[in-house]
């Protein structure tokens, strides 16, 4: 089966391609690196020719208003139209757990627009909301040049390893579309401020971390369970402590995210 992964050279998309290929599928990464521009539609018809499934793992290059909203509106509209013309049988759209409750954030408002466009389309689709990856936790740490204490929410978080997330997204792509929401998360709950404090300890960063219920998360205030999945979510198996231990020989990977 030919499965095209939009954003197929990114943190998640590249891993989805690897998992699909390991299962014997023709997994095709599509990004600007391969001549596919989802914003303009350039290269999409050729990339989608003969594809049965498309996984949308693309992310915006800029996370501020109005650029982030414009990206997801235009890119999703282009992709949906191209999928319809190509006769794609299943679109898997990757989104984020908590999106409906984080609408004070420009980034999450844009993700909600993306979700709405997919739901309203005539395509057979599956929306996947995943919790943030283990790899993203390091991005909540302010640069060392800023010596003031870090104020972080005590809300619960259930992050998932990027490899586990990709394997589960690939699993969804290999099954029939359901038109229902699938949620993916890691195996354990933590408190956000405590998890980031562990990352800082790992990096020998001794700045104090303040538990602050009013601290913003990418522009939005968190309730206790905003970043945790609903019952019935697909769960990865990699514990955060084990993932962190696996990076003892090098720096934590950097992931481009919107500013908190």
Indicate if the pLDDT at residue 222 is higher than 60.
yes
Mean per-residue pLDDT over the chain, rounded: 91
pLDDT of residue 154: 96
Indicate if the pLDDT at residue 183 is higher than 80.
yes
> Rounded CA gap, 235 and 208, in Å?
32
Q: How confident is the model at residue 256 (pLDDT cuts 50, 70, 90)?
A: very low
The string of pLDDT tens digits covering residues 14-43 is 999 999 999 999 999 999 999 999 999 999
The string of pLDDT tens digits covering residues 85-119 is 999 999 999 999 999 999 999 999 999 999 999 99
Sign of CA dihedral 164, 166, 170, 172: positive
- Tokens standing for residue 100: 């409906």
Helix (H) or strand (E) holding 127: strand 125-130
- Would you kindly state where each structural domain of the chain is located, as residue ranges? 2-245
The string of pLDDT tens digits covering residues 146-179 is 678 889 999 999 999 999 999 999 999 999 997 7
Residue 67, C-beta contacts closer than 8 angstroms, at least 6 positions apart? 60
Angle (CA) 69-230-151 rounded to 5° is: 60
Q: State what percent of residues in the chain have pLDDT above 90.
A: 76
- What is the architecture of the domain spanning 2-245? 3-Layer(aba) Sandwich (3.40)
* Burial class, 28, CB count within 10 angstroms (exposed 0-12 / middle 13-18 / buried 19+): buried
Contact yes or no for 16/133 (Cβ under 8 A): no
Contact yes or no for 237/164 (Cβ under 8 A): yes
* Burial class, 85, CB count within 10 angstroms (exposed 0-12 / middle 13-18 / buried 19+): exposed
How far is the first Cα of the chain from the last one, in angstroms, to the nearest whole number?
40
């Amino acid at each position: 089966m030919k499965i095209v992964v939009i954003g197929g050279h990114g943190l998640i998309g590249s891993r989805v391609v690897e998992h699909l290929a390991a299962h014997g599928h023709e997994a095709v990464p599509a990004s600007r690196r391969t001549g596919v521009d989802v914003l303009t539609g350039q290269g999409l018809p050729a990339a989608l020719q003969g594809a049965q499934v498309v996984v949308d793992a693309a992310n915006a290059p800029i996370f501020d208003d109005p650029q982030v909203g414009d990206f997801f509106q235009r890119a999703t509209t282009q992709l949906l139209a191209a999928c319809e013309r190509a006769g794609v049988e299943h679109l898997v759209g990757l989104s984020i757990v908590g999106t409906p409750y984080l609408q004070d954030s420009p980034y999450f408002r844009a993700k909600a627009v993306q979700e709405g466009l997919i739901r309203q389309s005539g395509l057979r689709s599956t929306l996947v909301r995943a919790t943030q990856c283990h790899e993203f936790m390091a991005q909540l740490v302010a640069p060392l040049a800023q010596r003031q204490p870090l104020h972080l929410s005590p809300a619960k978080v259930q992050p998932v390893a990027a490899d586990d997330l990709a394997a589960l997204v690939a699993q969804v792509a290999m099954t029939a579309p359901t038109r229902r929401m699938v949620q993916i998360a890691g195996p354990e709950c933590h408190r956000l401020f405590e998890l980031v404090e562990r990352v800082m300890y790992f990096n020998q960063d001794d700045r104090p971390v303040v538990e602050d219920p009013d601290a913003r998360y990418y522009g939005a205030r968190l309730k206790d369970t905003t970043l945790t999945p609903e019952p019935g979510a697909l769960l990865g198996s990699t514990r955060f402590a084990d993932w962190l231990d696996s990076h003892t020989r090098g720096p934590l990977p950097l992931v481009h995210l919107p500013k908190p």
